Amino acid sequence: MLAKRIIPCLDVKDGKTVKGVNFVNFRHAGDPVEMAAMYSEAGADELVFLDITASHEGRKTFVDVVKRVAASTSIPFTVGGGIGELADVERLLNAGADKVSINSAALRNPQLINDIAKNFGSQVCVVAIDAQFENNEWICYLNGGRIPTERKLVEWAVEAQERGAGEILFTSMSHDGVKTGYPNEALAALHESLNIPVIASGGAGTMEHFKDAFLIGKADAALAASVFHFGEINIKELKEYLKNNNIPVR
């Protein structure tokens, strides 16, 4: 088993880190630059920085914040939100991002995945999928969970992989912020269908939830926000817990 990664997520709105429940009801969590530095020190393996209203508001990600976050951290760093063309990717990589996460833009223009992989390498391209379980299937959503599509989770993830995505970041909208555990059945289905890493997102509330995402959901990494932001789970203690449960961590 490869070492599992623990990834704090900084959801940024108006230059501030926020955290919501089911993609709404946001509360302020802190300054993203200070938090990035703190997580780098705390033993996080990577960071994800999402400008959560960029696509909905039709604007680009805050490059100045990306530069400041990159300067304050020594761990790999993925940026998403408002990325619609190769020039956006280039600008964010130049600002210090290691990878980019595309979601709505990939659903609207799947060729963007091919273009990023071809120009910058698959390792740079994370395809994020926000999906909701309804009528016995996982439906993919656009614009930060606002607009349902015809696409289904697994078939879209497989297409993204075929087009050159290096990782899938799957967020369950139904589980987001409610702290009842990750969507392990859906994660396991992705694991069975893909040969690229899957990052679990949405539902972390306890250390056991991380363990289950790795053992039951077969996730390669687990992303969380509020449990880290508000001090409910300490990353070093979490890694110790996982090691004690025979889950390799970095």
Residue 245 in tokens: 């449960």
Active site residue 212: no
Q: C-alpha angle 40/11/185, rounded to 5°? A: 95
Neighbouring residues of 134: CB distance < 8 A, sequence distance ≥ 6: none
**Predicted confidence (pLDDT) per residue in 68-96, tens digit:** 888 988 999 999 988 999 999 999 999 99
Topology at the third CATH level for domain 5-244: TIM Barrel (3.20.20)
**Predicted confidence (pLDDT) per residue in 109-151, tens digit:** 999 999 999 999 999 999 999 999 998 999 999 876 789 899 9
**Predicted confidence (pLDDT) per residue in 220-237, tens digit:** 999 998 899 888 999 999
| 18 pLDDT above the threshold of 70 | no
45, 88, 130, 212: the active-site residue: 130
Give the span between the Cα atoms of 140 and 10, in whole angstroms.
22
Give the span between the Cα atoms of 95 and 45, in whole angstroms.
20
Mean pLDDT of 150-166: 97
The mean predicted confidence, pLDDT, of the chain is: 88
Active site residue 115: no
Q: Where are the domains of the chain?
A: 5-244
Give the span between the Cα atoms of 58 and 127, in whole angstroms.
19
Q: What is the pTM of this model?
A: 0.90
